[in-house]
Amino acid sequence: MAKKHKKIVLPALRGVMGDWVFYSCLMDVGELSSRVNFAEEIHENEELSDMIQRHLKRGRAAQIADYLKRQPERFFNSLVIATYGGQPNWHALSDVRSKTAPDELKNLTEDTVSSVGFLTLTGQEKLFALDGQHRLAGIKKAVKDGLDNDPYDELSVIFVGHKDTKKGLERTRRLFTTLNKTARPVSKGEIIALDEDDVMAICVRRLIEETKLFADNRLAFVASNNMPTANTTSLTTIANLYDVLTILFTNAYSDLREQKADLQRVRADDQTLDKYLRFAESYFLQLRKNFKALDEFFSAKNTEPVVKKYRGNHGGHVLFRPIGLEIMTRVIARFTKDMSLARAAKLAAELPDSLDEEPFR
């Protein structure tokens, strides 16, 4: 039996885009968790509806729930929710006045004033998320697990009308796919440059800004793992450095070892971030100590002759290729299960490192 909901009144803005009328409201996570379902309503066929549920990535709900619980700077963009049934009503304001600056609002147009108001939901509506399903799954899990927020966070929610007819289903499905197809994931380059929670991104920036390891063109600021053929000064790319640190922090046996998702979701405290930075710096210092080619590179005032010596059509050194640096980092990380980082790097240096030799030929 479906849960009965009480009538609620939500502060809202009314807007029009194309032929869609929408209402941008505030709704707390408790009401969202209780009232809003997933987008199974957009298909008449039950198996097609189940496909939408299965598409929700396992583990994402737990990550988002953890984010809601642990991140004081948590923030979501708007969820888009379709509504049908019941009797949702829009109540526009007829007048808006300011007690502190009355003159600033005295010339508002009637259309502007009437776009501000309240949306009432009777509790009989059927609500389902068109955009933000993973966020909704995380919200539901957090509330179910006992989210300790008093009062609950209020989130921005955009309501659009849905008609339970063939044409209405087509229209709502089209909006669903438009919202989800055009959403662009944050790129690796943007994460590295801007993310203030991701431990690897923070450490990449600090290695560049606070150490001399990658000063003077020693790192290519390229947001992919492919080193431009024209580059003759850099050891690797900034994207590859991010991946190397990811391997190191998630695979090397140390007190800092964590799952990748845990290193990305919630910012570590400053003391822990300092430990990760020292770990990353010590790793490259061990590489330099044990691999002659890297010592030449980091010692050189002009790195171009060194890079040309160890990377080119002739082959070169495995560590001067992004994929080679990743492979060697995985090997060293595996060795740390039985020995220190210093011993692991020393042992790895005994492996073949020339691209002209087996097993690279």
Q: What is the mean pLDDT of residues 84-106?
A: 82
**For position 87, what pLDDT does the model report?**
74
Q: What are 170's two structure tokens?
A: 């087509």
Q: Is the pLDDT of residue 94 over 90?
A: no
Q: What percent of the chain has pLDDT over 90?
A: 59
**For position 103, what pLDDT does the model report?**
80
pLDDT 10s digits, 281-333: 999 999 999 999 999 999 999 999 999 999 988 889 999 999 999 999 999 99
Mean pLDDT computed over every residue of the chain: 89
pLDDT 10s digits, 42-79: 666 566 566 666 566 667 888 899 999 988 889 999 99
pLDDT 10s digits, 27-47: 999 999 999 988 766 666 566
pTM above 0.95, yes or no: no
**For position 258, what pLDDT does the model report?**
96
Q: What is the mean pLDDT of residues 235-253?
A: 97
Least confident of 131-135, 216-220, 233-237, 356-360: 356-360
| Domain spans, the chain | 8-183, 189-348
Q: What is the mean pLDDT of residues 146-163?
A: 89
Strands 219-220, 89-92: pairing kind = unpaired
**For position 239, what pLDDT does the model report?**
95
Least confident of 174-178, 241-245, 316-320: 174-178
Q: What is the mean pLDDT of residues 134-141?
A: 92
Q: Is the pLDDT of residue 1 over 50?
A: no
| Band of residue 181 on the pLDDT scale cut at 50, 70, 90 | confident
Q: What are 342's two structure tokens?
A: 């210093």
HEC-encoded secondary structure of the chain: CCCCCCCEEEEEEEEEECCEEEEEEEEEHHHHHHHEECHHHHCCCHHHHHHHHHHCCCCHHHHHHHHHHHCCCCCCCCEEEEEECCCCEEEECCCCCCCCCHHHHCCCCHHHHHCEEEEEECCCCEEEEEECHHHHHHHHHHHHCCCCCCCCCEEEEEEEECCCCHHHHHHHHHHHHHHHHCCCCCCHHHHHHHCCCCHHHHHHHHHHHHCCCCCCCCEECCCCCCCCCCCCCCCEEHHHHHHHHHHHHHHCCCCCCCCHHHHHHCCCCHHHHHHHHHHHHHHHHHHHHHCHHHHHHHHCCCCHHHHHHHEECCEEEHHHCHHHHHHHHHHHHHHCCCCCHHHHHHHHCCCCCECCCCCCC
| Band of residue 162 on the pLDDT scale cut at 50, 70, 90 | confident
